[in-house]
Structure 1
């Protein structure tokens, strides 16, 4: 974790400001305005404009190195951006002439390793952030928080006695118990197995809805982002690629990168002929572009229709793999350098069929300008 620098020549801390949670409601807007961040001479973030409305869950999604965790640390005050402003509840907490330290922002933090104190009981872990309250009140509030996450009976236990999912719930209780205006979570489910991860995602959303918290959650898992977030902000190389609901990003990706982040796709060349986009699998979509315009087609694997006797283009089945709910096909198509991948229901194509016809489901195809597939 990075350390906040405190040299006054570099910045001025606003140490006189009361914690943002002291005189306001529970949830607050979180806003980034033209935020940039450089470290070691390298641009980590550039031109980030993003808002998380009060009470909503935003998932920061992107590959490793895209700047997700840096943006979360900037929101918390652990890092200071080199450009732009950060606002919580409409008030500047970081900008050219102002910096509110982490303890003054009214934010809660939850990290991948949960960061529980191993020598403290669960109750003492949860009450750690309540030291301004009388001891009796601390315990009462901590017990109520553990009850909310279903662990009241384990209050005197220690973290090493718990499963990964139980530790995750304790960490959430500790993060929420001071009633932060914004909860920041850095890949909180990455250390859990797949079954437990699914369970904890559902529990986390339920707790966040119950507490009406504003939350920003970092993840590199597109399905997790779709299950958790009211909105998703997709980052790449420190820039915001697209922000919207899961449905918007899945159905209307702005470029090939966005399309491929949410599902496997075939990338195919195409061109406009007689008002339609045509590729090696036939007609893809209508197009208002001029004839001869070169385009790139992103085609989801589910968008490749495969039939033994109907379709626009002949293909040969190179291999077929059963993967549970679907069969994964690799198809050779004339004029295409690499195999076309398709996912079909196991009963849609008889076993032993090697010569097939393929066509395109337009609902699962995306057309982008030029050969690069950019927006």
Structure 2
């Protein structure tokens, strides 16, 4: 069924025009590999995102996130595998559709606005195939949607970072792309503005029903924005799923530590139970003596002045607003244990405490390397 792309006016708000609906499409990366300057950047990446969903490409610097985005746009050409948009192959061993024919919108990290053009001219730049009057009308409607119609005749250097981000979003969406690709769009904004722009961006993407891929190195941002998250490390896909799945069921220690601070503890199976220096963690079918590794979130260290499985001493304590950060010395263990507790849970001045494990915040991996 053809999606209606006409501009619609909300009768409850005559001064506001909604963003037109896009012809969203599926996007599939199939066995993608990429080498450059004799180095492997990406290896065997398989990801599929459905039309209208938001995918966050998450990972540390150098993990291959931006390279994958550039391959999807056609700026880079993969050295192995295929790209499909809307079920049609746009890049493969024997086919390469140039960027301008892929139906994708690209929003760069620095926004890449033309400094010599007004905002309305920046936005209408991608509408040159339309009659001039229609270009202006459509661009003005897009600026109205992001709250900047009153600045249509000004220039980018007169804008704040958040305003520039909104103009870049309007320019990327106004041609109604099948897929919108965004490279760390919030990285240059301060924390308060970043939160505001995340919410606004999601609202616009939902309203336009656009398929979107957003590159980020911030796990919380990925969970707030993405319907699905693809976690990359050193050019490989570590885990793919919803934010809840990656947070609650990390594939390995790297995935666990990317979503929250953790203590990494050696453990072994004893009588059908995984036991670490803080006590019992979980049941296990492995044979006794099997080496295990426990990833324990800081919130998963229970600290009490009078009850717990192991005795410990508070080495340092820092108040950081919503929590106290503790560094603990545990009897029989040569590394410090970090814990995060609510202020007031442990009386001030207490140094001798007992600790144990909250199993809901612990992840058990077989072997000493932390693999799933």
| Structure 2 counterpart of 1:62 | 59
Find the partner of 2:179 among 176, 179, 182: 182
Mapping for residues 149-228 of structure 1, pairs under 5 Å? 149-228=146-225
Find the partner of 1:75 among 68, 72, 75: 72
Q: Which runs of 5+ in 1 are unaligned?
A: 1-20
With the length of structure 1 as denominator, give the TM-score of the two structures.
0.93
| Structure 1 counterpart of 2:96 | 99
Paired with 2:203 and 2:24, the residues of 1 have a C-alpha distance of 16
Following TM superposition, by how much is the alpha carbon of 1:336 offset from its aligned partner in structure 2, in angstroms? 1.8
Question: Could you list the per-position Cα deviations for residues 204-233 of structure 1 after superposition, in whole angstroms to 9, with x for gaps in the alignment?
Answer: 000000000000000000011011000100
Mapping for residues 67-146 of structure 1, pairs under 5 Å? 67-146=64-143
Q: Is the 8 A contact 2:222 2:229 kept in 1?
A: yes
Q: Is the 8 A contact 2:22 2:209 kept in 1?
A: no
Matched, 1:299 2:296: yes
Name the stretch that deviates more: 329-338 or 79-88.
329-338
Paired with 1:102 and 1:210, the residues of 2 have a C-alpha distance of 25
Question: Could you list the per-position Cα deviations for residues 17-59 of structure 1 after superposition, in whole angstroms to 9, with x for gaps in the alignment?
Answer: xxxx9xx971000101000000011110000000111000000
Q: Secondary structure at the match of 1:226?
A: helix
Paired with 1:83 and 1:337, the residues of 2 have a C-alpha distance of 47
Paired with 2:157 and 2:32, the residues of 1 have a C-alpha distance of 40
Q: Secondary structure at the match of 1:170?
A: helix
| Structure 1 counterpart of 2:38 | 41
Q: Secondary structure at the match of 1:35?
A: strand
Mapping for residues 230-309 of structure 1, pairs under 5 Å? 230-309=227-306
Question: Could you list the per-position Cα deviations for residues 90-140 of structure 1 after superposition, in whole angstroms to 9, with x for gaps in the alignment?
Answer: 000000000000000000000111000111110000000000000000000
- C-alpha change, 1:323 and 1:25, in structure 2 (3 Å) is closer
Following TM superposition, by how much is the alpha carbon of 1:335 offset from its aligned partner in structure 2, in angstroms? 2.3
| Structure 1 counterpart of 2:362 | 365
Paired with 2:24 and 2:317, the residues of 1 have a C-alpha distance of 51
Mapping for residues 302-317 of structure 1, pairs under 5 Å? 302-317=299-314
Q: Secondary structure at the match of 1:350?
A: coil
User: Could you say what the CA RMSD is over the residues aligned between the two structures, in angstroms?
Assistant: 1.1
Q: Is the 8 A contact 2:22 2:177 kept in 1?
A: no
| Structure 2 counterpart of 1:338 | 335
Q: Is the 8 A contact 2:33 2:43 kept in 1?
A: yes
Paired with 2:186 and 2:171, the residues of 1 have a C-alpha distance of 16
Number of paired residues?
353
Paired with 2:36 and 2:115, the residues of 1 have a C-alpha distance of 33
With the length of structure 2 as denominator, give the TM-score of the two structures.
0.94
Runs ≥4 residues deviating over 6 A: none
Q: Secondary structure at the match of 1:169?
A: helix
